[in-house]
Amino acid sequence: MKIKVCHHLSDLDAAQWNALSNGDNPFVRYEFLQALEQHDCLGEKHGWLPHHLLYYSDDSEQLLAALPLYLKNNSYGEFVFDWGWADAYQRNGLEYYPKLVSCIPYTPAQGPRLLIHKAVEDKEAVAQALITASIELAQKQGLSSLHILFTEEEDTRRLREHGLLMRMGVQFHWHNRGYKDFDDYLSHFASKKRKNIRQERRKVAQSGIEIECLHGDDINAEQWQSIYHFYQVTFHKKSGYPSLSLAFFQSIAKQMPKALVVFMARHEDRYVAASICFRGDTGLYGRHWGCDEEFDSLHFELCYYQGLEYAIEHGLQVFEPGAQGEHKVSRGFEPTRTWSGHWIAHPQFSQAIGNHLQHEILGMQQYHQELTEHLPFKHRDEDVGHE
């Protein structure tokens, strides 16, 4: 085998990269990752330097596997928070940054990280070779650590078997149980919970809000200005930095038109809010939201209920509306374990972090169980009730 490090996806053939995944997850596609690199979302200014690992066969230039990888000098845009680890390093006179991170920038969505061509016979050996090579790269460059974030079940198992420290988180995902429409979905709720959601949707309708669902190739230049304004507004309100450029979104709309789904709210002939989602073959992923005016329950409508209706209508199996937010549970988003793997170079810190993660996992498992008990679905023997 041959392992190479790629600093620019433009050096690669898009078809070869895309052949490494089944195409279901939009975030690992060449077009998405390349748009980040090409349109000023990464680089020195943002602290994201591409270091993608590429796995080739000995006798050809056929790309057989890859690991999306970035050299980071901060922890922004990762959503698996290790600021405390960095502080502990600093207090002990050690440098935590730079570090290596495998994730999708600014995107806390589960997905494949060890991308392996379907023609590879021994996928486990190739996966382990990629993990080993990423650790060796960190060692060669004298880095503090390697972090592989938001892994799917298969990659989580591989990281655990390789001996990485495992960290558990909790997100809130919706799963399609074969619902015919939104009313069918609500029919599975306890009466009070069902009534609350219908009241929220009624408030939005009564306020005169009209909702438009647009795919990338439906959006005109004027609408793009509104969408990008709403994207920026939320970051400015929270004193954050909007890292994604308008050119990035427009590139996705052009190259992956059906992967971009935008819900826009119009009131009295002007747009007042928008939510931006991405979709794959089986999943919808909510990512960004913003508004100019406050309307009762509009956030729930644009960020959750419109996405649920879209997922049901298009036969999607999962809807991940973004990180955090316990209020999602009462709307049927189920507490879901997320996992990341960590390699720490410093032996004493590795042991200390490992001990911390063992205790943290116990707490997260209890948190997961408690939230699960608050799901809104009715029990079999519960009266349907009336609104």
Residue 72: both structure tokens together: 């980071």
What is the pLDDT confidence band of residue 222, given thresholds at 50, 70 and 90? Answer: very high
In the DSSP assignment, the letter for residue 60 is: S
Bridge partners (DSSP) listed for residue 263: 213, 275
Phi, psi at 109, each rounded to 5°:
-120, 140
Is the pLDDT at 385 greater than 90, yes or no? no
What is the pLDDT confidence band of residue 324, given thresholds at 50, 70 and 90? Answer: confident
The average pLDDT across 15-26 equals 91
pLDDT of residue 124: 97
pLDDT of residue 303: 97
Q: Kindly tell me the sign of the dihedral angle through the C-alpha atoms of 148, 153, 158, 159.
A: positive
Q: What is the pLDDT of residues 226-285, one digit of tens each?
A: 999 999 999 998 878 999 999 999 999 999 999 999 999 999 999 999 999 999 999 999
Q: Which domains does the chain have, with CATH numbers?
A: 2-163 (3.40.630.30), 173-335 (3.40.630.30)
Is the pLDDT at 23 greater than 80, yes or no? no
The strands making up 52-56's β-sheet, listed across from edge to edge, are 2-6, 52-56, 63-67, 115-116
CB atoms within 10 A of CB 210: 13
What is the residue whose two structure tokens read 């669902």? 213
pLDDT of residue 239: 79
Q: What is the pLDDT of residues 175-188, one digit of tens each?
A: 999 999 999 999 99
The average pLDDT across 89-118 equals 97
Is the pLDDT at 24 greater than 90, yes or no? no
pLDDT of residue 320: 97
Q: How far apart are CA 65 and CA 55, in angstroms?
A: 5
pLDDT of residue 378: 85
Residue 305 CA, chain-centre distance (Å), reads: 19
What is the residue whose two structure tokens read 């209020």? 327
CB neighbour list of residue 76: distance below 8 Å, 6 or more residues apart: 46, 47, 241, 243
Query: Mean pLDDT for the chain?
Result: 95
- Residue type, position 338, single letter: T
What is the residue whose two structure tokens read 């066969």? 57
What is the pLDDT confidence band of residue 384, given thresholds at 50, 70 and 90? Answer: very low
Query: What is each CA distance from 308 to 45, 227, 265, in whole angstroms?
Result: 36, 20, 16
pLDDT of residue 101: 98
Is the pLDDT at 379 greater than 80, yes or no? no
CB neighbour list of residue 167: distance below 8 Å, 6 or more residues apart: 80, 339, 340, 341, 342, 357, 360, 361
The average pLDDT across 58-81 equals 93
pTM for the model stands at: 0.95
Q: Are 179 and 185 in contact (CB under 8 A)?
A: yes
pLDDT of residue 35: 98
Parallel/antiparallel/unpaired status of strands 52-56 and 48-50: unpaired
Parallel/antiparallel/unpaired status of strands 115-116 and 63-67: antiparallel
Q: What is the pLDDT of residues 285-319, one digit of tens each?
A: 999 999 999 999 999 999 999 999 999 999 999 99
CB atoms within 10 A of CB 52: 22
How would you label 78-95 residue by residue, b for 16+ Cβ within 10 Å and e otherwise?
bbbebeebbebbeeeeee
